[in-house]
Structure 1
Amino acid sequence: MKKILNYFSVDGAVGGNQEWFKNVVMYIGGCAAATACDCCIYLALRRGMEHLYPYDVHALTKQDYIDFSMKMKPYLRPRVNGVNKLWMFTEGFENYLKDVGETGIEMEELPGTEDIRTAELFIRQQVDSGYPVPYLMLRHRKAYYKDFVWHWFLCYGYEEREDGLWITVATYGEMYTFLLRDLWDTGYEEKGGLIGLKC
């Protein structure tokens, strides 16, 4: 079983890229805002919710994406410890949506303390319903995931393999695939989690 959403590219990148940001604070800590920007672009393109994106969603450009990130910055502003709680993302993103006149999107938080089966089901249900899944990972015991530590990224697909559920994610303008069970088992008490969207 495999399901990959019809994602989008910006100037050849998979989704947007936080490393494009010229604002130093956003370059270092703008991953939550970038994830929210990518959600808006996806929903504008695939769900017809074009009011979520203030530019031409059918002609995506790197500069428009950078400008959009600065509009999102006040809602999901980088801070000393980052946007390191699920409620910070849902609260900030809801405020943005409300300000652009969108009140029909609901969000559900799934803490990283939940078991792996619950996380797998959550991702399957979201992707099967046509929604990407914002994912927050804080620490991880494996150095392999060092670029994803204290980081928000967007899951937009999954594949059932013999060894478990593999997820497809976008961040830094690239596509990655991870075994969810391995990614979910961070080895630390402080957990991130997932955000579910529904409209």
Structure 2
Amino acid sequence: MLVSVKKQELLTITSALENTSYFGGDQEWYEKNWNREAGCGPTSAANITAYLAAANEGVKALYPYDTMDKTNFTKHMEEMFQYVTPGVMGVNHVNKFTEGFDRYLKERKINLTPKVFEADKKPRKLREVKDIIDFVKEGLEADCPLAFLNLSRGLEKSIQGWHWITITAADITENGIRATASDEGKKIDFDLGLWYLTTKMHGGLIYYS
């Protein structure tokens, strides 16, 4: 079963100067070196806020620009960095993400509630793929991309460790889930179920409704 946000194309970012397009933001667009190195969390926050603003008339204040061109989106990323701000270890816990994101929402008088799934709630041997499948399905059916924190890749080697990306779709089977996500301006595909069963550190997913 395929499930996704209603309009993945809303995360298309264009650049007339480069004559190209991207799928979501890329932390390499930040101006400062540290921001480029540690900015995956606020980049994911920028993706989510921009998508929600485009998909829902009532929350347009989440993205204060008329277009999704690279120049405007980079400005939005810089703004989100002031809220979802990496510390010396980056944004290394789901709570650090939601604290900053919620402050951004509050200042714009927008009422959205974070839904959080933490990978460290159970020992790995007790984890069931169904738990993460249900959560991702709920988020995508609520038409919200999911911020995904992966500190340890486990056996899923096609994703980066210690990194945030933005899940926009999933292919769900009886026993597994493959996810589609925005990572550094590109669309990637990976086995989220394998990650969940084999990751060696905490991590998690977040969506807003």
1:165 equivalenced with 2:177 (yes/no): yes
Check conservation: 2:156, 2:194, Cα contact below 8 A.
no
| Equivalent-residue separation in structure 1 for 2:50 and 2:172 (angstroms) | 27
Specify the SS of the correspondent of 1:66.
helix
The structure-2 alpha-carbon separation of the partners of 1:2 and 1:79, relative to structure 1 and needing over 3 Å to count, comes to same
Deviations 1:95-151, CA, capped at 9 Å, x for gaps: 01111221x100022111243221110001111121111110001234724x52111
Specify the SS of the correspondent of 2:205.
strand
Check conservation: 1:25, 1:78, Cα contact below 8 A.
no
Identify the match of residue 194 of structure 2 among 182, 186, 189. Answer: 182
Check conservation: 1:3, 1:128, Cα contact below 8 A.
yes
What's the counterpart of residue 17 of structure 2?
Answer: none
Please list, as runs of the form range in 1=range in 2, the aligned pairs for 1:24-35 lying within 5 A after superposition. Answer: 24-35=33-44
What's the counterpart of residue 138 of structure 1?
Answer: 151
Q: Which runs of 5+ in 2 are unaligned?
A: 15-20, 122-126
Q: Which runs of 5+ in 1 are unaligned?
A: none
What's the counterpart of residue 4 of structure 1?
Answer: 4
Q: TM-score, length-normalised on structure 2?
A: 0.86
What's the counterpart of residue 191 of structure 1?
Answer: 202
Specify the SS of the correspondent of 2:157.
helix
What's the counterpart of residue 141 of structure 2?
Answer: 128
Q: TM-score, length-normalised on structure 1?
A: 0.90
Deviations 1:61-101, CA, capped at 9 Å, x for gaps: 11111111111112111221111111111111000111122
Identity of aligned residues (%): 26
Identify the match of residue 27 of structure 2 among 2, 12, 18. Answer: 18
The structure-2 alpha-carbon separation of the partners of 1:25 and 1:124, relative to structure 1 and needing over 3 Å to count, comes to same
The runs of 4+ residues in structure 1 deviating greater than 4 Å are none
Aligned pair count reads 193
